[in-house]
Amino acid sequence: MMVYTVNRKVADFPEKEDMSTPEAAYATLNRLLASGDEAFWQRLSAPPLAKEMPKQSGKREISAEAAARFLGAEILEVNLWRQTNAVVLAQMSRDIDLRWLCRVGGQWLNDGNDGVPNLEKARARVAHGRAYRDAEPPRQEAERLRHSRPPVPDPEKHLRPFVEFLKREAADPQAFLFQALAKHRVVILGEVHNGQRYWAFNAALVRSPRFAQLVGVIYLELPCNDQPLMDQFLAAPKYDPAPVIDVLRDTHEFGWPDQPTLEFCQTVWEVNQSLPKAQRLRIVLADMARPWKEIHSRADWAKHYNVDRDEFMGRQIARSWLGEQLEDRRSERRRHPAAAGGVVGPAAVRVAEIGAAQCVALRQRVEAAVVRRQVSRGPEGHDTHSTRSRAVVRCPPSGRLQQTPKLADLPLAGRRIILGREL
């Protein structure tokens, strides 16, 4: 890949349409953005992208501040590879603007846009984006081969090993899952987005009396800042789906119209109506925050979206799980002041629903978060917790914890199930 510096502002380029170089194309696109013109996108975008764009015409009103931002952008450098792909890095008023371009018929056409807080992250984004774009032809070839597989001459013979395996190993899914919950601290279950059969299975699981005996909290891959809405929904004396609908609307910039998820939440609410308050199921939202009312600029977007979602959800789940263990322990000590150190209280199995690609990473991060927590006992026998603590562990009578435990060594009060995405 070739990188060359430019260090020129858009306003320094001639006021004409020029798509002959990446930097000239960037200046042209920004001038059109500053003018409010809506009709140029399809004409000056790469064909695959242009096909997805709605036809637009006319002009929209652009504020003087926005126009000045487009014209005042300083082109810092151009990253060019294969003579057909480029990305322009430009300093805007608050962040680094990345304009992806591809060369078609001698013109550098728009192929996407991105924004990051600083130049270091911009270059990292370029490396990631380049790898993604370079992988597109192999992916397309793999897709072509997948659809061109020759027919199986003897389907019955081909499927026989699979049929025999299922006859030998198959079990009722619900019974299998409850057995797994009884044997393992972490159980991961996969699904397909918006899958009705998957969520119907989850709903049937929740309706089983055994579920409330084993599971106390259900973690969902929904924005954590909407937790008050979910709490409001579950606490309502009458069924009202409005809070959950608001949560789903916040899940994605275009909303998340997922009827099966809404119906699953309804099932949890209905089951809770027949349970004592102390045994009612909770739903905890574990994904990164999406406070749309606070997002007004690319910098705001980057502040909330430049996070490792695997790590974030791992920490959310570990924090909730271990925090409740600590509360159980304190409650037990209030009832029995002479109780020894360690986690006490009923088993608390948790359910988390996350991305399938995130399952392994999340399990590793949860384990890492757990073993990093350090709890020490003060001279009076009280617990003192370091600001870096992430888990509750049993303290030796001698004082400070000498060796951090592994996740598998924690008591059964840490048992949970993770429901994955898109396996």
Provide the sign of the torsion angle of the four alpha carbons 87, 90, 92, 95, taken in this order. Answer: positive
What's the predicted TM-score (pTM) here? Answer: 0.50
- Find the mean pLDDT for residues 380-389: 32
| Over residues 194-215, mean pLDDT | 90
Q: Which H/E stretch holds residue 3? A: strand 2-9
pLDDT score at 412? 40
Least confident window among 135-149, 262-276, 303-317, 370-384: 370-384
Q: How many CB atoms lie within 10 A of CB 67?
A: 16
Residue 325: the pLDDT is 58
Per-residue pLDDT of 219-244, as tens digits, reads 898 999 999 999 999 999 999 999 99
- CB-CB contact of 71 with 65 (8 Å): no
β pairing state of 85-91 and 215-223: unpaired
Position 216 scores a pLDDT of 81
pLDDT of residue 110: 94
For residue 229, the tally of other CB atoms under 10 A from its CB is: 19
Average pLDDT over residues 271-295: 92
| Topology classification of domain 2-146 | Nuclear Transport Factor 2; Chain: A, (3.10.450)
Do residues 370 and 322 touch, judged by C-beta distance below 8 A? Answer: yes
Nearest to 273 by CA among 178, 207, 179: 207
d(CA 287, CA 25): 38
Provide CB contacts within 8 A for 266, sequence distance 6+: 239, 241, 244
Q: Which residue has the higher pLDDT, 241 or 316?
A: 241
Helix and strand tally (H, E) in the chain? Answer: 14, 12
How many Cα atoms within 13 Å fall on the side-chain side of residue 45? Answer: 18
pLDDT score for 91: 96
Helix 242-250 × helix 259-272 angle, to 10°: 140
Copy the structure tokens of residue 225: 């800042």
**What integer is the mean pLDDT of 92-109?**
92
Checking if the pLDDT of 94 tops 80, the result is yes
- What whole-number percentage of the chain has pLDDT above 90? 40
Short-list 181, 73, 167, 87, CA closest to 127: 87
Task: Give the integer Cα–Cα distance in Å for 304 and 315.
Answer: 16
Residue 395: pLDDT above 70? Answer: no
As given in the structure block, the two tokens for residue 301 are 């977007």
Q: Which is more confidently placed, 17 or 407?
A: 17
Structure tokens at 300: 């705001």
> 31, 71 in Cβ contact below 8 A?
yes
Mean pLDDT of 384-401: 29
What's the pLDDT tens digit per position in 33-71? 999 888 888 899 988 888 878 777 788 888 999 999 999
Say if CB 369 and CB 390 are below 8 A apart. Answer: yes
Q: How confident is the model at residue 4 (pLDDT cuts 50, 70, 90)?
A: very high
From the number of C-beta atoms within 10 Å of its C-beta (0-12, 13-18, 19+), residue 59 rates as exposed
Annotated domain spans of the chain: 2-146, 171-419
| 348: confidence class by pLDDT, cuts 50, 70, 90 | very low
Q: What average pLDDT is seen over the chain?
A: 77
Q: What's the rounded Cα separation, in Å, for the pair 226 and 162?
A: 44
Helix (H) or strand (E) holding 155: helix 155-169
